[in-house]
């Protein structure tokens, strides 16, 4: 008798939302590190954080919003 794999044990192909979630997590992490660097810059040195650091910090809310979009898209497919 052949053993058929159960649906929970079969590997699923990566979906487009999985890639979107990975991008969202990466953007959020990069933005979070930039925010921490903004607060640590005056402590470590006497200079103020540069404009580039503030622009990189904008990746945090963008990643957060993309994460919400990815979660909503995955929730629709699960139904």
**What's the token pair of residue 62?**
């963008």
CB-based contact 27:63 (threshold 8 Å): yes
76: pLDDT confidence band, cut at 50, 70 and 90? confident
CB-based contact 26:63 (threshold 8 Å): yes
pLDDT at residue number 3: 64
CB-based contact 72:21 (threshold 8 Å): no
CB-based contact 63:29 (threshold 8 Å): yes
74: pLDDT confidence band, cut at 50, 70 and 90? confident
How does pLDDT run across 43-61, given as a tens digit for each residue? 999 999 999 999 999 999 9
Average pLDDT score over the chain: 85
């Amino acid at each position: 008798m052949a053993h058929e794999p159960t649906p929970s044990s079969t590997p699923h192909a990566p979906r487009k939302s999985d890639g979107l979630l990975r991008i969202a997590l990466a953007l959020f992490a990069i933005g979070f590190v930039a925010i921490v660097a903004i607060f640590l810059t005056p402590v470590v040195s006497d200079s103020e954080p540069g404009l580039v650091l503030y622009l990189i910090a904008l990746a945090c809310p963008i990643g957060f919003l993309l994460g919400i979009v990815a979660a909503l898209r995955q929730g629709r497919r699960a139904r």
